[in-house]
Structure 1
Amino acid sequence: MSTVASKRCNDAWIWTWRRELRGGHEQQQLTDLFSIVNGYSFGSDMDKWMWVGPSSNFTVSHARSIIDSYELGNFVRPIDWCNLVHIKVHIFNWRLHLNRLPAKSNLPDRHIDVGNSSCGLCNTLEETADHLFAKCSITSLIWARIQLWIDLTIPAWNSVDDIWA
């Protein structure tokens, strides 16, 4: 049985991988892990899992709040989930609000090279969620057609945040 301490020798980490690291994101995660654990001293006892949440007892709600605080950061506005709206619409709304839609401006964060980041519709400005939903000249025409179709006035938006205001 292996221990964490057995993976460290003379201030160097010794790892055996099933495959080579892909570099980029994986290498950055490993570097981040090393920067976190380098200050710790590991004993020779067998490794064990231990919950370090608000109490010594593990609960799913505590785990979820830790993950949410890491993933969502300072996201303060809760998304209103309505049973009358399809779940896919809710998820799209949630991803739009978090700026997690695959717009060309977000793809490099996922290590996807898109080359030209200009809007695929109007080809004038960078393709961001704000541009696609509030500022693009082509989508403005689409919103105008939707207004005519549903016979309802939709206010003009300057950013995605204005949609929920």
Structure 2
Amino acid sequence: MALAEVNDKWVWIETNLYEFLICTVKRMLSKRNDYCGNYVLEWCKWLPLKCIVFVWRAEMEKNATGAACIDLNINVEVSNCPFCDYSDETVSHLFCSCMIASTIWLHISRWCKIALFVVSSVRDILELQNLMRLTGLVKNVFHGILIVGCWCLWRARNSLRFENKEVQVEEIIREIKSLGYFELALN
């Protein structure tokens, strides 16, 4: 490898142009890309901020699951999934591969009359409305339902983990529907 004696140049990521153009910056910002590699969450305006922040943290796997607590050297009595007690409680397991989560997503796909879907990460859940090629209000509502679904799963997990309340899929589905309708009606 040899070094060449060439002047350094600044080049825009999107266009390979050497000059500054406002329209290029506007186009870059409107594409919702983050060039440092972070996922940019599509916000759902009609949901409470706590739900949005929760799924944003879940996508980064920053929620206090059993496995995350162990990774941070926090003593926890049990690190298995409280729903199935089969696997370590990770964000991906809790929202994607656990039997309870799979059943919730099955009910949501039937309720929303869309094709059955399988997800392997929270990012998959958050991008599902794009993969289904939904548009307009239908896209926004479905996206909101998915976020509410994650929030309700987490609340059911917390009730089971901290209050020993029995988890019933029908109750979680009822909560998803009522929260979804309630929040949509407010906005």
Q: Which gives a bigger RCO, structure 1 or 2 (Cα 8 Å, sep 6+)?
A: 2
TM-score by length of 1: 0.48
Q: Which has the larger radius of gyration?
A: 1
